[in-house]
Amino acid sequence: MISNRTIGNIVRILRKETKRLKTPSVTLVGKKWGSPFSVLISCILSLRTKDEVTLSASEKLFRIASDPQQMVRLSRQRIQEIIYPVGFYKTKALRIKEMSRDIIDRFGGKVPDDIDTLLTLKGVGRKTANLVVTEAFGKPGICVDTHVHRISNRLGYVRTKTPEETEWALRKRLPKNFWIEYNALLVTWGQNICRPVSPLCSRCAINRFCLKVGVDLSR
């Protein structure tokens, strides 16, 4: 397995290399709208949806309703119309409306800033909870999606079978000063270079550090 010294080198290289690549949609939403609620809702919209669709739907929705109070005034049908064509838009519209009401009723209209409390919101899993605390509140968390899970294992930094296992393994190994940025760096790299099938190893700036675990074919 690669060392923490090596992962530090990797993070520093990716900080530089990812500046020329597209930023993940949830990160862009957080920077533009600047509220925990916008980050939370964009996370819900992003599930099984392409980044460009997520970003467009998020922007349309937040121009109309940017906080829980405004969101609950919209009908489920109206939310569906606004966020279409995100994946599972009907289910997500219901979830967004219910979540907004829950945030008002239980938390005074403010999105919780800790993972355990966020997990009590229906439809929020560990990936979303971690992303909200890191992107919206700047607090330590490790958001693990398919890119983070795949690349962490491909590098040889962890040996895990599921994203949840990867999160806990990273919590034990990854230096805490890298936690907040780790997701955005690896998601960006995974979308552009370290792809699931036939990764672009010849163009990869961290190629020399990677153990290429499970890589049978690359370009």
DSSP SS3 for 187: helix
Q: What does each C-alpha distance from 152 to 17, 27, 174, 200 come to in angstroms? A: 17, 20, 10, 16
Check 19, 113, 127, 216 and give the catalytic one. 127
Distance between the two ends of the chain, CA-based, in angstroms? 23
Calpha distance 127→154 (Å, rounded): 20
Q: What residues have CB less than 8 Å from 95, skipping those under 6 apart?
A: 44, 122, 123
User: Among residues 22, 116, 145, 176, which one is catalytic?
Assistant: 145
Check residue 197 and report its DSSP letter. S
Instruction: Spell 122-135 as b/e; 16+ CB within 10 A means b.
Output: ebbebbbbbbbbbb
Residue 67 appears among annotated catalytic residues: no
DSSP assignment of 105-133, as one string? Answer: HHHTT---SSHHHHTTSTT--HHHHHHHH
Asked if residue 85 has a cis previous peptide bond (ω within 30° of 0), the answer is: yes
Per DSSP, the three-state class of 103 is helix
Active site residue 145: yes
Active-site residue set: 127, 145
